[in-house]
Amino acid sequence: MNNFTPFSALLGGIVIGLSVVFYFYMTGRLAGISGIFENAITNTSQRLSNLAFLLGLVIGPLIYFNFIASSAPVAFNITHSYLLIIPGGFLVGFGTRLGGGCTSGHGICGIGRLSINSIIATGVFVAIGMLTVTILQQFGVYL
């Protein structure tokens, strides 16, 4: 585990948790990003509010890069293979909406509420994600 960063991970997680709590307290909505994304592109009644959340997700890192941690470049390493990006994106969109949530909706809000459904959903997507990466590694990807 040469890249293990438990302290920044925990701190970031706490900040995310505070956002989830504040959002719920103020609006009564759970901050599941896949749901917010779906509503932003399909639901006209709360579109602006959902778009505002998504815009915040982009502004947050920009604030962080420019004003908080300007000296430390934040690593960003992503595959540039369209064979991974296009099916990957599609399955993330389709799967999260079919399963009713993603890492934030099921993994944070759902487990935070001790929802059995969310605990099972999170177990499934983590396990299948691990299986997928392990299979890709058999073909030399992500090694």
- Binders of another protein among residues 112 to 131 (CB under 8 A) are 112-117, 120-122, 124-131
Does position 139 bind another protein by CB under 8 A? no
CB atoms within 10 A of CB 108: 23
| Residues near another protein (CB under 8 A), total | 113
Q: Three-state DSSP class for 27?
A: helix
Q: What 8-state DSSP symbol labels residue 72?
A: S
- Cα separation of 64 and 41, whole Å? 27
Q: Please, what is the minimum distance in Å from the beta carbon of residue 69 to another protein?
A: 8
Q: Please, what is the minimum distance in Å from the beta carbon of residue 71 to another protein?
A: 15
Q: Three-state DSSP class for 5?
A: coil
- Binders of another protein among residues 6 to 45 (CB under 8 A) are 6, 8-31, 33-34, 37-38, 41-42
Does position 3 bind another protein by CB under 8 A? yes
Handedness of CA 24, 95, 97, 94 (dihedral sign): positive
In the chain, the amino acid numbered 114 is L
Q: What 8-state DSSP symbol labels residue 110?
A: I
- Binders of another protein among residues 83 to 102 (CB under 8 A) are 84-100, 102
Q: Three-state DSSP class for 127?
A: helix
Q: Please, what is the minimum distance in Å from the beta carbon of residue 65 to another protein?
A: 7
Per-residue string for binding with another protein, 39-78, x by CB under 8 A? --xx---x-xxx-xxxxxxxxxxxxxx--x-----xxxxx
Q: Please, what is the minimum distance in Å from the beta carbon of residue 39 to another protein?
A: 10
